[in-house]
Amino acid sequence: MTSTDHTGSGDLARSLELMWGLDRKPTRGPKPALTLDRIVGAGIAVADAEGLDALSMRRVAAEVGAGTMSLYRYVPGKAELLDLMVDKVNSPCESEFPPGLGWRGALERVARGIWQMYNRHPWLLNVDQARPVLGPNSLRALELTLAAIGDAALSDREKMTVLTIIDGGYVSGMARTHFNAKHAAQRTGVSDEQFWAAQAPILSAAMTSGDYPELAALSQDSFTADGEGEFEFGLGLLLDGLEAFVERRT
């Protein structure tokens, strides 16, 4: 599984207008039979149920019971549809942060929230979000997060850097590894056991060859990973490091 390119959101301005609902309604003409929301929702439903590669304009159109080309009355193209799907799914933590959580608790909460968002919508992991399109939901999430870590003794720029490192870097990377593997099983019909069994012969041949002494000496349980546990462990390490950094400077 690799990444389908949409060209980085062909018409960014149009995406933003649609996200923020800035298109002025026409007065003449027939009533639209569809809604932008319904289309975006259908796209999310398809991606959730069948993965990103099953998301096609024809498929979404069929889902809402319309002709394929009718979608283009609401959305400039597939890239923009994806932008809209991302922001819709990116709704901030339902409950606000409980007060008095402290910056470390808030960062943990945000990290786990993102982790669970990727669990609900694994297709998000394969959407290039390097250039974030700032929709209302994404912006709201950032706003709430900034408010919750206000007590950290960091500059504004450092706070943004920390968010990039933890959320954009660590959490996304770990989630990608973990959930892609998890969903690969059902998507391909090849279970984890089957997958590793297929590699076993080559692996054991490599072990006994003597070319890989370190690998050969590894204890048996080294390859059985507990994704969630590893995620929490690494998050702890990262926050420990950050805590030391903050204390060191005060």
Binders of a second copy in range 65-124 (CB under 8 A) = 82
Nearer to DNA, 65 or 236 (CB): 65
Nearer to a second copy, 42 or 122 (CB): 122
132 binds DNA (CB under 7 A): no
Secondary structure letter of residue 189 according to DSSP: S
- CA distances, 210 to each of 199, 203, 213, 216, 227 (Å): 18, 12, 6, 8, 30
47 and 55 in contact (C-beta within 8 Å)? yes
- CA distances, 127 to each of 56, 236, 247 (Å): 14, 27, 37
115 and 107 in contact (C-beta within 8 Å)? no
Nearer to DNA, 8 or 173 (CB): 8
**What element of type H or E holds 1?**
none
161 and 101 in contact (C-beta within 8 Å)? no
Which of positions 42-61 make contact with DNA (CB under 7 A)?
A: 55-59
Q: How far is the CB of 89 from DNA (least distance, A)?
A: 18
Which of positions 154-183 make contact with a second copy (CB under 8 A)?
A: 155-157, 159-161, 164-166, 168-174, 176-181
In the chain, the amino acid numbered 77 is G
Burial category of 221 from C-beta neighbours within 10 Å (exposed 0-12, middle 13-18, buried 19 and up): exposed
21 binds DNA (CB under 7 A): no
Which of positions 225-244 make contact with a second copy (CB under 8 A)?
A: 225, 230-231, 233-234, 236-242, 244
213 binds DNA (CB under 7 A): no
Question: Look-up: residue for tokens 């910056």?
Answer: 103
* Contact string 185-224 vs a second copy (x = CB under 8 A): --xx-x----x--xx--xx--x----xxxxx--xx-xxxx
Nearer to a second copy, 37 or 53 (CB): 53
Among 15, 44, 78, 149, binds DNA (CB under 7 A): 78
32 binds DNA (CB under 7 A): yes
